[in-house]
Amino acid sequence: MSETTLQTQSVAIHVRKVLKRYGSSDKPALNEVSLEVPPGELLAVLGPSGSGKTTMLNVLAGLEQVEAGHVLFGDEDVTALQPEQRGVGVVFQSSMLYPHLSLRDSISFAPRIAKVPKQEISRRIEEVTNWLNIGHLLGRRPGEVSGGERQRAAIAKALVTQPRLLLMDEPFSAVDAQLRRQLRTELVKLHRRIGTTTIFVTHDQEEAMAIADRVAVMRDGELVQVGTPLELYRSPVNSWLADFVSIQPLNHFDAHVDEADRLVLLDGTLTVEGARLPRGSRVAVGVRPEHITMRPEPAATTWRILTQEMLGSVVKYVVRDTNGHEITTVTTADEMLAPDQPVELRVDRGRCMVFDAQTGKAFASASAQEASGVS
């Protein structure tokens, strides 16, 4: 790996109680949102359509003005600054390259307008495009290269300005799944090389969890939770988030706590030891498919495999009990079981996510309860 000579920047981002409405709508696009991003972090902003994630990006870029609150880059309040005054690079879903210009001319456009010396522009372009493996394409126009190459050029176009903040709005959503995985791997490598604070907006849970140092999940103009991918996956703050960040469908159960301190699921078809909640409590339980252990048992009479679906090295099953309840679970392909095979199921309490049945708010996990002495 060659030494990096590009003068990269990295800045802490502080979003403080930002309020943004569109038109006369009573529902804010951003409802007093606060967010802290340390310098050099790659943060994914994840959420469904209409959650406010693109509005957040536009506010950071200066493309949208806020009704209240402040945005700071380090110690500098940039709330009222125009986009060109913020030192921000933006990569959109479409590459935003000039169709009549070569890639070189598109990439160099902004620094030329900024009167950066020609020799310095050439040096930056050479370094960034070599990182992105498009140095040999600089003489071509956007219509003469592939979609993935256009997006790499769009990233180069943002980086040659030496931004202190790189913003990316669903930059890979227009390419096919295999290329999308390749591009996001390249992005992670590039970020580790240059260290620019980067905020990546996406609606794709797999993408956010794969690339980010932390993920900020938005819903209805508010931040639901900010944490590492593993924190969001294992300790979501509510049942909606647990479901939203699932790659495989989350199993939902209504449950109660019996006199033996067990979670009773599916009218007693499944029980989980060690509820550690008041007896008689009614709760909602979420269990990810990979946290339900399934093993063949010829004598089992309750559960049978209904369907089987190959997903690469993983096999997904729907298992049905004698009362018609269905559960999704997974095994590796090496442990593949056949449809209609009788099985036994076991749920580990440490992997159960338990939520208030009315509010959906998460109770403390079993491991957290042990750490705090709750029994």
Angstrom distance (rounded) from CA 297 to CA 197: 52
Query: What global pTM score does this model have?
Result: 0.89
**Domain 244-372: top CATH class:** mainly beta
Residue 142: closest CA among 93, 94, 91, 92: 94
Residues 6+ apart with CB under 8 A from 141: 99, 100, 101, 102, 103
pLDDT tens-digit readout, 186-235: 999 999 988 999 999 999 999 999 999 999 999 999 999 999 999 999 99
Angstrom distance (rounded) from CA 363 to CA 126: 53
The domain ranges of the chain are 13-243, 244-372
**Mean pLDDT along residues 115-127:** 93
CATH code of domain 13-243? 3.40.50.300
- Compute how many other C-beta atoms are within 10 angstroms of the C-beta atom of residue 190: 21
Q: Is the pLDDT of residue 360 over 90?
A: yes
pLDDT tens-digit readout, 234-269: 999 999 999 999 988 999 999 999 999 999 999 889
Give the rounded percent of residues in the chain with a pLDDT score beyond 90: 76
Kindly tell me the sign of the dihedral angle through the C-alpha atoms of 241, 245, 251, 257.
Answer: negative
Write down the mean pLDDT value for the chain.
90
pLDDT tens-digit readout, 103-113: 999 999 999 99
Angstrom distance (rounded) from CA 245 to CA 221: 18
**Confidence band, pLDDT 50/70/90 cuts, at residue 6:** low
Q: Is the pLDDT of residue 365 over 60?
A: no
Contact 153, 160 (CB under 8 A): no
Which residues are paired to 33 by β-bridges?
18
Q: How far apart are the first and last CA of the chain?
A: 53
Residue 56: closest CA among 167, 172, 151: 167
